[in-house]
Structure 1
């Protein structure tokens, strides 16, 4: 095989020059998408006057990222933004809980520093009284404060040495071999090999010294030392995995059940421990499934958390539990909203302790819900269901503003990245905070809520159709901004991952239906059997039916498009694409007659051979979804195995997979690509050695989008759209193989993950 190393500097390929909409309005290229500011959630200060948020932005000119921190005055119409600083070394910024002081972690080589400053909305002097308060011996993260008067209790997380101290790369024993030895699971998780240094929580106290400056009083305490517990829970745990009581005396945190095999069990406990340590953490909740979002009530008398019923089922419904919290750690647990057939992803207390505010998925939208707890509910209705106070877009995060009943909600939609709303929890009235989005994106304010950069809500619609076994199935239609109802557009048929997931009306920097539509397609995103947000039964029906019910839903969905949307969707010019489970479904479709409906298929991180899936890390997932372990129920794995139908493969396919994907190992892509090549089917493999299940680095993501849509263009004949100009200085590897197939990849600068 001949390897050729090309420089885009000297060998830039041609791309679309770009086209504006029929009315001359702007459309969005992938480069504009990936180079746009990414706003964090906005968090209000204790007084409810200012909100803190950060923004990260990648420059394709400088090939580097930058991070800025801002406050927005939420007491004025639309909000008023003031920048505090630009500093990519600042990792986390949090309200201290005293006035308008903020604390933040700053990287200093192999160590983290804790700084405190006063934030103001004074443009001339936005940051005041900055001081370094503490230098940790290593890198820490997940900073959380709880102020009690003028004393501030704080927690950080860090990997720990066996003696309980914070891991330091400077003092760790130097290894002269790269060998790893394991005697239990996990061996690796998500995109990392498991280390001997486990994540622990460290507590500390900040007070003012004799000079009035803030200082850390005494030593830090490792709250998990001497146990087998780990917190936050990997791979995505953060500050939501623990909380500090309002009086600063206790901490609650999440940890997996330490005596159970981590790869086969989802069981997670909420533990309680004194803030100063000194006693063994005590589990609050009983043994069931995964647990998330433990929160003290504002008066400290109760704890709420969300827990799944079934151990080993990661997509089970989150149920809502409240326990009394007493100094002697005697917990009396009550379940609320037992009959609610939705699964919330987060929970927050109202300022008066009487209500819970939840974010939960419902019919393709992440809605905000309010729930009176039992003590405030009518005696005749002790198990009220939550009531939605939003009906459109998708909420990412919410915070109570001061002592009010107003919520600061971070939201996004198919047609807008993160924006902020103030929503009344009592009547649902909305106040727009448009300034952060318009100022940081340097774009005029839109007159239409939930839109950005010329995109419009008129581009988005949805429909329901009869699916398998009489169940209704939901799907989204996203049109290009230059849509002309007198014309027909190629169909981009999207299949989501999970499989227990959904296409929600939310922004994405990876699979973005609106920006994909800008390439000249009508995008239809389906939520078939197994999707979340439509009730537990609909989600659970995918178990042991991966290539059955959801596949039939997709076939019926295509037929529905042919019958009802043929006036503007060219179903004779269709392309199907999917990632993760969606990639599995692409491989499954390839071996079915349904594949003849598509001119090409795009498979990102898809399973090719279900019998190989014991190479994954979270074994509970494959065991649950295939209803048993492979050595007892091999027939379940073989029933829906794409490998079994490869003799019928004939549709051209683009395969994308990355080396650090430990959820679905890259061997799945290599095997599928080998089959395509051996059978002489037109195909291409794109791989990134430095990416995981997701392609996150902007330079890599730009290559991903260009490769995908240039490939699709070959088959669809699309002539409009904007891919974005080629960049200079990108290193692209190309390997010439059979049929002239290309294997390409690109290295890019590392930046913060797209959360």
Structure 2
């Protein structure tokens, strides 16, 4: 009998602890992470902060506990631990304990009770601290017409009493992923020290929602940098890095370009320069590319320079060493997708030398010790959930030291291997293949092809929401391909799929499927396909172009490219790639699955959330209605209160249960059983 694991029981799977984010104390002795676990009634996830021993000798210990949870750990120079929480204050004012707005809390370095440090009407969206000064920068909203926090609070209370929910927009965008923008306008505020009153906060400027909205404070506390969206016309809007004087809020420079986006800025140790991500904007002809950029923090005449001119992969947010390299220039660490992994790289900005520090796995949340000799990060992989690890900051080819923490890897219901083949144009292709425990030549497993979203991303890390191991526990082999447009295979991989989303990517997916099915432990007569977002688009494209699969599951998927281009949360981005549908319909006509609806014969499960603003619900409804019109066997799983991702625990359970039930009916020949509660 196959070994029983938490993945065989959806309730046990959802109850597994989920580790995210890392913060290291200024003296390097305390490492704090956030861990999400199920609430006692099993209806929501609650975050708590845990301290992890950087040496790996002591077990992790829990630091916080509340009904509302905690997130975003950070430190002040004196070792005080900061975090965000909407928990009520110890002595709340009238009605304050009913509010669900996040405030900034502090926990003394020597221990004791947490106390509310900074609070604003409307909540605090994020914060950053300096390493050598008590300066804090906050991201929070101001209602139109509010000149300060007090006026903002009065306006909010007036709206609440009048039961007004309306939002008047005078510029785009109006939505972002799964939430409405406004009526408050995001601002960045400088706080001179941790004990300052809200009245002394300095408004450092407004920022439209762009990419990350990232905030950074220079080590000496004199400067604040944040990501803002510039431009007025829709196609002009782009992310830029704004640098301001932390004491006065005066704008000192804007790092921007008409053909590029800038973000995720980090200051160098001398507080005089910035390292940030520079992304060349997409166009009709180009999928864009990403590099790291070094620029003077305050000199607007310095255009900056490319730090990775010959690096083939796309780097993530930079982490700058607290101390310069031997040549006196900054040392930077970053992660980048590469061949089904996401290693940590070390860059010497003076020489341009790059060292790949890790051999396998996907890394995130990298933090550096005060002396720049040690790194800590979260490491995950397709077969391993995120866990804190320790790395030498300079050595190549390392295997990390895993630190004791909650959420250690559970037993898996199978094993992981790779599939390789070659595309028609000669490009090398690869995929991960998850094999269930009992897959053998005498008992070949059914195959589930699972295409990732993006499309410019990769199957290289652990996924709670897209877990192949739940399917493996049900007996399926799961193929996780990285086709054209995937990250981690160089710029050519993006370019070969850019002109036709249903072209090279579709051919790559099928080529990898064919390669996998050459194995004698897989059953080529029992196959299914699924995907979400771009993977959902590919599901729809496959459904309209082949009947080789027994069933297809499509989640948050693009169906009618014409309608999608006008109602997604930022149409201008889409039209840069796809073209203006009033002037150029070439790609719409070539790529839109809805024009081929009559070709579908494969049974389909359509899944969509009503709060999905990236791929709005109209796409799912149109597909569902077309399937009904052409009498295709289909079901529609609808979530009125979910967005692009399904995030509520019991909705997650029902998502997996419905998917597995649908596949069991059409692929395994079992009788359809409607999941409980739907």
User: Fold conserved (TM > 0.5)?
Assistant: yes
670-679 or 571-580, which moves further after superposition? 670-679
1:483 positional shift: 4.1
Residues in 1 aligned to 2:55 and 2:256: alpha-carbon distance in whole angstroms: 40
Secondary structure in structure 2 of the residue aligned to 1:528: coil
Deviation at 1:560?
Answer: 2.1
Match of 1:158 in 2: 140
For residues 59-78 of structure 1, give each alpha carbon's deviation from its aligned partner in whole angstroms, at most 9, with x where no partner exists: 4744344332111121243x
Q: 1:74 to 1:373 in 2, by over 3 A?
A: same
User: Which deviations, in whole Å up to 9, do the C-alpha atoms of 1:214-273 show, x marking residues without a partner?
Assistant: 55596111110xxxx416x44x635xx121111111111111113342xx3462111111
Aligned to 2:225: 252
Alpha carbons 1:543, 1:624 under 8 Å: kept: no
Of 525, 528, 531, which residue of structure 1 is paired with 2:480?
Answer: 525
Is structure 2 residue 523 aligned with structure 1 residue 570? Answer: yes
2:349 alignment partner in structure 1: 373
**Please, which of 609, 616, 627 is the counterpart of residue 676 of structure 1?**
627
Deviation (angstroms), 1:525: 1.1
**Aligned residue in 2 for 1:101:** 80
Q: Is the 8 A contact 1:288 1:309 kept in 2?
A: yes
Residue ranges of structure 1 left out of the alignment (5+ in a row): 1-19, 121-126, 208-213, 378-382, 444-451, 733-743, 745-755
Q: 1:646 to 1:332 in 2, by over 3 A?
A: closer
CA contact (8 A) 2:142 2:187 kept: yes
**What is aligned with 1:609?**
560
Question: Residue 536 of structure 2 corresponds to which residue in structure 1?
Answer: 583
Aligned counterpart for 1:359 among listed residues 335, 345, 352: 335
Structure 2: gaps of 5 or more residues: 89-97, 326-330
Q: TM-score, normalised by structure 1?
A: 0.81
* SS of aligned partner of 2:112: strand
- Partner Cα distance (2:165, 2:83) in 1: 35
- Check 1:484–1:50 CA distance in 2 against 1; reply closer, same or farther (3 A cut): farther
1:510 and 2:465 matched = yes
Deviations along 1:542-595, whole A, 9 cap, x unmatched?
223011111122222232233x31x01111100010111111122121222x22
Query: Are 2:53 and 2:404, in contact at CA under 8 Å, matched by a contact in 1?
Result: no
Contact map agreement 2:104 2:124 (CA 8 A) in 1? no
Matches of residues 724-735 of structure 1 in structure 2 within 5 Å? 732=677
> Following superposition of structure 1 onto structure 2, how do residues 170-189 of structure 1 map, counting pairs within 5 Å?
170-172=157-159, 175=162, 180-189=167-176
1:398-426 Cα distance to aligned partner (Å, 9 max, x none): 00022131100111112221111111122
* Residue number in structure 2 paired with 1:432: 401
The reply to whether residue 243 of structure 1 matches residue 216 of structure 2 is yes
Identify which of 416, 420, 445 aligns with 1:464. 420
**SS of equivalent to 1:41:** strand
2:472 paired with 1:499: no
Check whether the contact 1:205–1:216 (CA below 8 A) recurs between aligned residues: no
CA contact (8 A) 1:92 1:143 kept: no
- Alignment CA distance shift 1:552-1:356 (3 Å): same
**Inter-partner Cα distance in structure 2 for 1:644 and 1:105:** 48
CA separation of 1:266/1:548 partners in 2, compared to 1, >3 Å: closer, same or farther? farther
Provide the residue aligned with 1:191 in structure 2.
178
Q: Secondary structure at the match of 2:480?
A: strand
Q: Is the 8 A contact 1:397 1:410 kept in 2?
A: yes
Query: Counterparts of 1:295-334 in structure 2 under 5 Å?
Result: 295-310=266-281, 316-325=288-297, 331=302, 333-334=304-305
Alignment match, 1:711: 662
Which is bigger in relative contact order (C-alpha 8 A, separation at least 6)? 1
Deviation at 1:316, TM superposition (A): 2.5
Residue 86 (structure 1) aligns with: 65
Q: Shift of residue 623 of structure 1? A: 1.9
Distance 2:300 2:171 in 1: 32
Superposition deviation, residue 348 in structure 1? 0.8
State how far apart, in whole Å, the 2-side matches of 1:432 and 1:718 are. 46
Whether the 8 Å contact between 1:90 and 1:104 is mirrored in structure 2 is no
Secondary structure at the aligned position of 1:598 is classed as: coil
Q: Superposed, which structure 2 residues align to 1:46-195 within 5 Å?
A: 46-59=26-39, 61-77=41-57, 79-107=58-86, 108=88, 109-110=98-99, 112-119=102-109, 127-128=111-112, 130-148=114-132, 151-161=133-143, 162-166=145-149, 167-168=152-153, 169-172=156-159, 175=162, 180-195=167-182
- Seen in structure 2, the aligned counterparts of structure 1 residues 575 and 477 have a Cα distance that, compared at 3 Å, is same
1:542 and 2:494 are equivalent in the alignment: no
Q: Is the 8 A contact 2:189 2:201 kept in 1?
A: yes
Secondary structure of 1:339's counterpart equals coil
Contact 2:44 2:649 (C-alpha < 8 Å) held by counterparts: no
Superimposed CA distance per residue, residues 70-107 of structure 1 (whole angstroms, 9 cap, x where no aligned partner): 11121243x43121121243544534333432123342
- Structure 1 615/629 Cα, relative in aligned 2: closer, same or farther at 3 Å? same
Distance 2:386 2:499 in 1: 37
TM-score, reference length from structure 2: 0.90
Cα-to-partner distance string for 1:154-181 (whole Å, 9 max, x where unaligned): 0111111333434433354755665555
Measured in 2, the distance between the counterparts of 1:353 and 1:305 equals 17
Q: In the superposition, relative to structure 1, how do residues 643 and 502 fare at CA in structure 2: closer, same or farther (>3 Å)?
A: same
Equivalents in 1 of 2:283, 2:176: separation in Å? Answer: 16
Asked if 1:552 corresponds to 2:507, the answer is yes
Change (3 A) 1:650 1:281: same
**Change in CA separation of 1:540 and 1:32 when aligned onto 2, cut-off 3 Å:** farther
Q: What is the total number of aligned residue pairs between the two structures?
A: 653
